[in-house]
Amino acid sequence: MTTSEPIDIHAHYKKGDKQTSGTVGYLDAGQDQVLKEVWIKLLAHFENTKDTPIKVEKSLVKNSGLAKAGISTSDTEAVEKWYTDNTDEVKEIKNQLVCDKLYLDGNRDIIVPSTFKPLFGDSADTRTFSNAFWQATMRFHSPDSYVLKFVRASGWDTDKAFARIRSSIERRITQEIDRLMWEGDTTQHNGVTQNGMCLHVGNDRLGSPVFIVTVRQNSPKLRSEANAEKLAAYALEKAAQLSRKYGEEALIVYDFAGFKLENVDLGFTKLIVTTLQELYPLTFTATLLFVNSWLFSGFWRAIRGWLDPAIAQRTVVVKDVQTLENFVDRSQIPVEMGGQNKYEYSYVYPTKEGNAKMFDTEGRQAAEAEFAAAVSAFVEQTKSWIDGSGPATHDAKLRSQAAAAFDTASANLDPFIRAQFYDERV
């Protein structure tokens, strides 16, 4: 059986090259066979579950005031009455969402369409496994890349990889990740968006985007548990999607400068770790812990046991800017961390204009039809590749062409099914 090799993350950054072994275009015969075996299991599961959709049971979106009350944003009279009756509650920092802040400030625009429409005609309360799978793969240039993330993280064990993919897709469905991205910033906690706790700031030495999490900005007392779970899911999915144009990987840096007891939140931290491992294996080339706080050693002892081997060997404790420079050029490191990047964060609220394509019904239908055709073509070429009915090089070429069509269709569909990110507004 093909097994994964230990990763020397320092060596990769020193050489300035990304890991290619075990990725699309760099598979040996054994790895190629494992990939085929996982696809065999996936295609069979698509067929076996096509008539048994999975229920949305733990939606991360339906905890907003309007959603709980069953009020559509298009019902202006009901919306106005709800805000009149609940003004004091939504003014509280702990409860206030971006949509609440916009409304209270007099912005009554509907930022995203009031009716959420899942892909391929799925109902609002259920999703089929295959539909959710194909939407999850959209952030990759090839569906193989998505599958291989789980395969590599599972040590090239076919059964473990399939089990992890299945669990990941089922979690995406039950938590309604597709709708979370549809709503975008509007249902995020307003205080968190204002302080910029998680930001995309520059790129690393491999060309991947750098996401900096300023841990001192985390204040459990100022947000609800439900908003914390929603934040973790949204921030990680956003980072994963933004990494698409940079080679499908990113670097995440946790800045512990000024870290205090009031910032300690083990529950939230464990939620981030489990979400990373279950939904985004090997999405981040490395996780850097930039440390200058005496509290960190105790915090680290508490969390390091939660890391699976794939993440643990990519996690590095960094104690000074000189070490951080091994991963990120000083020109890309923020000034407050000892670098030269004078990046200043100022939150820009979402607008209806920024999400214009989400309101274009005909454009959405055309883009979705293109995507459905691309999925169908990729599936057919994958079946041919598995069967080995034609010359290997011929099958590989046709499948590569199908993946390229899938990539184009994914990019075309994307702005119709999710709200614009802050990073795309500035």
As a whole number of angstroms, the distance between CA 331 and CA 341 comes to: 5
CB 351 within 8 A of CB 396: no
SS3 assignment, position 285: strand
CB 283 within 8 A of CB 249: yes
Which of 210, 226, 186 minimizes the C-alpha distance to 329? 210
Please provide residue 211's backbone torsions phi and psi, each rounded to the nearest 5 degrees: -110, 120
Q: Which amino acid is at 86?
A: N
pLDDT of residue 307: 87
Other C-beta atoms closer than 10 Å to the C-beta of 254 total 21
C-alpha distances (whole Å) from 96 to each of 128, 190, 238, 242, 423 are 33, 6, 21, 26, 22
Q: Which tens digits make up the pLDDT trace of 65-99?
A: 888 888 888 899 999 999 999 999 889 888 899 99
Q: What does the mean pLDDT of the chain come to?
A: 91
Q: Which amino acid is at 127?
A: R
Tokens encoding 418:
């999710």
Is the pLDDT confidence value at 1 over 50?
Answer: no
Tokens encoding 45:
């599961």
Which distant-in-sequence residues (6+ apart) come within 8 Å of 355 by Cβ? 111, 112, 184, 419, 420
Give, as one character, the DSSP assignment of residue 189.
B
DSSP 233-252: HHHHHHHHHHGGGGTS-EEE
pLDDT of residue 6: 63
pLDDT bin (cut points 50, 70, 90) of residue 121 is very high
Tokens encoding 69:
């009350």
> Hey, CA dihedral for 401, 373, 247, 154, is it positive or negative?
negative
Tokens encoding 257:
């400068």
pLDDT of residue 331: 95
SS3 assignment, position 1: coil
Question: pLDDT exceeding 90 applies to what percent of the chain?
Answer: 65
When mean pLDDT is compared across 14-28, 285-299, 347-361, the lowest value belongs to: 285-299
Which distant-in-sequence residues (6+ apart) come within 8 Å of 367 by Cβ? 409, 412, 413, 416
pTM flag (> 0.85): yes
Please provide residue 286's backbone torsions phi and psi, each rounded to the nearest 5 degrees: -160, 155
When mean pLDDT is compared across 83-92, 229-238, 262-271, the lowest value belongs to: 262-271
As a whole number of angstroms, the distance between CA 33 and CA 147 comes to: 13
Name 341's bridge partners. 334
Strands (DSSP E) found in 66-156: 126-127
In this prediction, residues 292-300 reach a mean pLDDT of 78
Is the pLDDT confidence value at 410 over 90?
Answer: yes
As a whole number of angstroms, the distance between CA 97 and CA 204 comes to: 32
CA 264, 267, 269, 275: dihedral to nearest 10 degrees? -170
pLDDT of residue 389: 61
In this prediction, residues 291-301 reach a mean pLDDT of 79
pLDDT bin (cut points 50, 70, 90) of residue 393 is low
Is the pLDDT confidence value at 3 over 60?
Answer: no
Other C-beta atoms closer than 10 Å to the C-beta of 48 total 10
As a whole number of angstroms, the distance between CA 322 and CA 339 comes to: 10
In this prediction, residues 269-289 reach a mean pLDDT of 90
Tokens encoding 181:
């991205």
In this prediction, residues 106-127 reach a mean pLDDT of 93
Q: Which tens digits make up the pLDDT trace of 338-356?
A: 999 998 899 999 999 999 9
Task: Give 83 or 2, the one with higher predicted confidence.
Answer: 83
pLDDT bin (cut points 50, 70, 90) of residue 35 is very high
DSSP H or E stretch at residue 100: helix 98-104
